Chain A
């Protein structure tokens, strides 16, 4: 009913206004674009992630690339993989898909579960809150990594790995989100405009929707933006241990894992996925930081 012209500018606008925010947004956008356009890009290069190119390998080094710099050439923009000769660039951009897909899926799952539990605990009565909080604390006591490793080892290979990764990451790491949602909900709930709304007869539903959820948007968005890179790292780590997506599906973690045995003769093969992963993580983290600052300029320590 009322126009928004006096309202505070939207988050996107505020983010764009900051130079750091602009850079972060562009970088992240680029990364997502590259992942989406993986087939196009590899077609441009003229390669695909799975074809073996044994002819380009040097059997003297046990399968290392013939050409220097890991085999970088016009045909293979980032060189080739040792022992298999597969194109690194193609594997990299397809690996990006897996990384982003799992990160996105896991983040979504964590968000949903966290919101559900956090809201229920924050809005519910004392009994519900106590129960759910204890449950959250319980989950927080789990050794996440060990559990993930164990579950990934036990569940049979027939189950699609990316989905499994999303499920495990979401199912184990939702607790911090729930905690934050609960804390914020409790704060908002005590605000007098919520009490005022109850006073003139608004139902719990309406109060949740119109008074509390908008107030949650800011902290939740901030937190979510930082969950994405965490999940990316988690997926990479698990793949690194050999428990993530299985070959031949390309994954950065996996590439890093094989690369470790080659870093003396073919350092490019290590550096390329390492630096790529690093860059992506930093881009998302930077975005998260910029969002945090855009959302709460007067927060401590700006």
Chain B
């Protein structure tokens, strides 16, 4: 089927000052087709996406090459001749934006104007381009909202902050549809959303493609997300194209080593489980009917984050806690290490009531309970070298000898796979993965017995994620840790856990062995399972 492509990108190069983000990307997008652009941070995929709408203009970025937009075969539309978006004049570019190509972004929570009603914003776009009257624009906006599954009658006059994250992204998609563009560029549209919501949005995009023949450029770091939703895929690494082809081909028979790495790094629901460590029979941690209620603050109602949770953790066991945002999993984790005071309920550690510890006894027991935070950029003091940060727990507990301290820190650095020359480096000088390793080193230097990992890999690239998860598994064995691994990603949790607790709205809805996930009974768990994007099997 040879039809004129909508978009032809020739040798697109983008650099920001001395940094080259993209080194010569070429591609073609045909009508009705969907293309996936996959890469990790620094691959240049976002820079490429922004350039398609000429959004680098005025920012000081240097853009080279050509991005040719071809006119519509029907003759309608904004342009009569092919236009190079890189060199088009401002007026033409403004007319093209939204009308020929529309874009949705990664941050749906903040991409809508907070000061205007949602419906009005969408209608405003219509009026801007078509100079339509207020009634016509309003009708079109309502229509667009319905198309994305939002009830226009009740929600047209709402403000963005009244919408959930998923709804805001839908509203943004509605805005993208209202001018009837040919191409939708979706830059990581689901990364900031819960996995069930992600599935809905991807489904919506698929439906729109079918219904109105919308072409799609889907950018993501997640090959699995891209996998089920595009026709062709292009893999980028550090600004260079590494592999491309029909999506099934690339995912089942990858040619390039990097693609293979990416694929291997994705946690799969059907992957091998870690070998179970023989756990002792006595529970190390016993949580009974724990509740954490955050008091009402300035008008908003009191929120129950954790609602009557009970569980037992055996010594040496690894428990995974899965839930979406607002499920209470983080609050549960923090309560276990006494970072958060429970409102009611009981937590027993090694047979003793956590709540009864005070003063010096509490400080001593701090050695046994540790937590690894999600974002090492904020869990490490930016003004301290990582060596000092790692040494700090020892200093607080009385170690004063410099040589011993240094030796201990060097030992830990080595254990977590960091070169001990990095001792004097500051967090901002390290990569995300290195920072998280440093944070892990700090958590383990006191030889704790129980470690709660609160979304420890969510802020990392997929390949780095795999490495850190592997590290955690090894350390668990070596240090004989009891782990509580909290994440929103079922597949990731499964890699490290013996048992999995699924949380929804503050309650544990299901508790089952990791090996038995596919036999889950609870509807919420099943929804979570089905929402995980599947990679096609070879």
Interface residues of A (CB under 8 A from B): 1-3, 5-7, 191-193, 195-203, 206, 211, 214-215
Contact = CB atoms under 8 A, between A and B. Distances in A.
B278 interface: no
B376 to A, nearest CB: 9
B297 to A, nearest CB: 10
B41 interface: no
Contacts of B406: 1
Interface stretch (B79-87, B385-393, B473-481): B385-393
Given A1-B402, A2-B387, A201-B397, 13 more contacts: A6-B424, A6-B425, A6-B429, A192-B378, A195-B339, A199-B370, A200-B393, A201-B362, A201-B396, A202-B392, A203-B363, A211-B381, A215-B383
B16 to A, nearest CB: 15
B424 A3 contact: yes
30 contacts: A1-B388, A1-B402, A1-B406, A2-B385, A2-B388, A2-B423, A3-B424, A5-B424, A6-B385, A6-B425, A6-B429, A7-B383, A7-B426, A192-B373, A192-B375, A193-B378, A193-B379, A193-B389, A195-B339, A196-B371, A197-B392, A199-B371, A200-B367, A200-B370, A200-B442, A201-B366, A201-B367, A201-B396, A202-B396, A211-B381
A199 B393 CA distance: 9
Contacts of A3: 424
Contacts of B388: 1-2
A134 to B, nearest CB: 14
B70 to A, nearest CB: 40
Contacts of B367: 200-201
Nearest to B295: A126
Interface in B373-423: 373, 375, 378-385, 387-389, 391-393, 396-397, 402, 405-406, 423
A199 B426 contact: no
Nearest to A196: B379
Given A198-B339, A199-B337, A201-B397, A192 B363 contact: no
Contacts of B442: 196, 200
Contacts of B366: 199-201
Interface residues of B, number: 39
Contacts of B397: 200-201
A230 to B, nearest CB: 29
B383 A214 contact: yes
Contacts of B392: 197, 200, 202
A199 B425 CA distance: 23
Contacts of A198: 339
Interface centre among A191, A195, A196, A203 (most CB of B within 10 A): A196
Nearest to A197: B392
Contact of A201 (B339, B393, B423, B439): B393
Contact of B424 (A2, A199, A206): A2
A215 B382 CA distance: 9
Closest 6 pairs between A and B when the two form their complex, measured CB to CB: A200-B393, A201-B366, A192-B379, A201-B363, A193-B381, A2-B385
B446 interface: yes
B371 to A, nearest CB: 6
A213 to B, nearest CB: 11
Given A1-B388, A1-B391, A193-B380, A6 B426 contact: yes
Contacts of B425: 6
A196 B373 contact: yes
Contacts of A211: 381
A2 B425 CA distance: 10
B375 to A, nearest CB: 7
Contact of B446 (A191, A200, A202, A203): A200
Contacts of B362: 201
Nearest to B445: A200
A7 B362 CA distance: 34
Nearest to A192: B379
A195 B333 CA distance: 13
Interface in B19-51: none
Contact of B396 (A1, A191, A200, A214): A200
A166 B2 CA distance: 84
Contacts of B381: 193, 211
A185 to B, nearest CB: 15
A157 B380 CA distance: 56
A301 to B, nearest CB: 17
Contacts of A195: 339, 371, 373, 379
A182 B337 CA distance: 27
A199 B373 CA distance: 11
Contacts of A2: 384-385, 387-388, 423-424
Contacts of B382: 193
Contacts of B391: 1
A187 to B, nearest CB: 11
Contacts of A200: 366-367, 370, 392-393, 396-397, 442, 446
A7 B391 CA distance: 18
B442 to A, nearest CB: 7
A214 B382 CA distance: 10
A192 to B, nearest CB: 4
Nearest to A200: B393
A2 B370 CA distance: 25
A221 to B, nearest CB: 15
Nearest to A1: B388
Nearest to B377: A192
A197 B396 CA distance: 9
B186 to A, nearest CB: 29
A196 B362 CA distance: 15
A214 B379 CA distance: 16
B57 to A, nearest CB: 21
Given A199-B366, A199-B370, A200-B370, A191 B339 contact: no
A215 B367 CA distance: 26
Contacts of A192: 373, 375, 378-379
A81 B471 CA distance: 81
Contacts of A193: 378-382, 389
B295 to A, nearest CB: 9
A3 B388 CA distance: 10
A145 B362 CA distance: 51
A83 to B, nearest CB: 58
Interface centre among A198, A200, A202, A203 (most CB of B within 10 A): A200
B331 to A, nearest CB: 13
Interface string B436-477: 000100100010000000000000000000000000000000
Nearest to A195: B339
Given A2-B388, A193-B380, A199 B405 contact: no
A198 B337 CA distance: 11
A206 B366 CA distance: 15
